[in-house]
């Protein structure tokens, strides 16, 4: 079996050169990134009771799945974590490697999906950020991911809820009206309800720790963590 959706990989490979352009096709992710970094960092520090002030994520092994051009991998490494970034698109990995080298960052980038990852270790933290809505088989994908996580490790999943509001905002609004994303970036059928995500991961010994919404404030032009999970949400799971 494979979790790779070839159509999705081709779609993102075509845009690979724009990963690090804050005004390009990944502009929404650049705006999104600060709140994701803050949320992940604070939760890791609290859960692992970390005390290092200069490198807060020191000695934490992170696997960034669907890493793209490295928008999350790089900040995690700068915070002191040991980072492995994987992506099924070779073009994305080439861009990520080039950017990391240019910035003198040591990140282990590999072109792979979780089920094909040949690595002899498990990770403290797994990041599945804006990726589950693009895979071929979500149950198989998350099962493969969970095998790579240490006991008591954390998995962060950020995705889009399957609601009428998410169709209006994430597809009609973001793709057709505001033109934030290229048309066809998302398919509503692939959006995931938090309850479904929770049930799939429960089968893999992962328990939901926290669930938060992520909302865009048009006036302030920034993303915030909120209680509203009707469109974008981020969940933290802990492995038993």
Flag whether pLDDT at 41 surpasses 80: yes
Q: What is the pLDDT of residue 175?
A: 79
pTM tops 0.85, yes or no: yes
42 domain residue, yes or no:
yes
pLDDT tier for residue 65 given thresholds of 50, 70 and 90: very high
150 domain residue, yes or no:
yes
Flag whether pLDDT at 34 surpasses 80: yes
What are the distances in angstroms from CA 131 to CA 1, 26, 147, 170, 178? 18, 14, 17, 15, 22
Flag whether pLDDT at 178 surpasses 80: no
1 domain residue, yes or no:
no
Burial of 11 (0-12, 13-18, 19+ CB in 10 A): middle
Per residue in 197-233, pLDDT (tens digit) is: 999 999 999 999 999 999 988 889 899 999 999 999 9
Per residue in 109-134, pLDDT (tens digit) is: 999 999 999 999 999 999 999 999 99
146 domain residue, yes or no:
yes
Contact 207, 197 (CB under 8 A): no
Choose the weakest-confidence range: 11-15, 100-104, 168-172, 182-186.
182-186
- Output the domain CATH number for residue 32: 3.40.50.150
Provide the domain count of the chain. Answer: 1
CA distance 129 to 160: 10
Flag whether pLDDT at 33 surpasses 80: yes
55 domain residue, yes or no:
no
96 domain residue, yes or no:
yes
57 domain residue, yes or no:
no
Query: pLDDT averaged over the chain?
Result: 95
Residue numbers of the domain that contains 227: 6-50+63-239
Average pLDDT in the 11-36 region? 94
């Amino acid at each position: 079996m494979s979790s790779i959706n070839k159509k999705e990989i081709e779609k993102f490979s075509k845009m690979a050169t724009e990963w690090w352009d804050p005004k390009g096709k990944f502009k929404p992710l650049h705006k999104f990134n600060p709140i994701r970094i803050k949320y992940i960092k604070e939760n890791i520090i609290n859960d692992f009771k970390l005390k290092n002030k200069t490198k807060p994520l020191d000695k934490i092994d992170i696997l960034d799945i669907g890493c793209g051009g490295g928008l999350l991998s790089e900040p995690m490494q700068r915070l002191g974590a040991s980072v492995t970034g994987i992506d099924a698109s070779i073009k994305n990995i080439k861009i990520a490697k080039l950017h990391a080298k240019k910035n003198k960052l040591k990140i282990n980038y590999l072109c792979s999906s979780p089920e094909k990852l040949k690595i002899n270790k498990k990770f403290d933290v797994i990041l599945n950020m804006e990726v589950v809505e693009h895979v071929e088989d979500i149950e198989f994908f998350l099962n493969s991911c969970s095998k790579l996580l240490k006991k008591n490790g954390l998995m962060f999943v950020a995705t889009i809820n399957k609601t009428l509001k998410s169709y209006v905002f994430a597809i009609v609004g973001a793709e057709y009206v505001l033109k934030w994303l290229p048309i066809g970036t998302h398919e509503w059928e692939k959006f995931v309800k938090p309850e479904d995500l929770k049930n799939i991961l429960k089968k893999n010994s992962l328990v939901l720790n926290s669930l938060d919404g992520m909302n865009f404030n048009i006036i302030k032009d920034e993303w915030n963590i909120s209680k509203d999970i009707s469109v974008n949400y981020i969940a933290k799971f802990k492995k038993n």
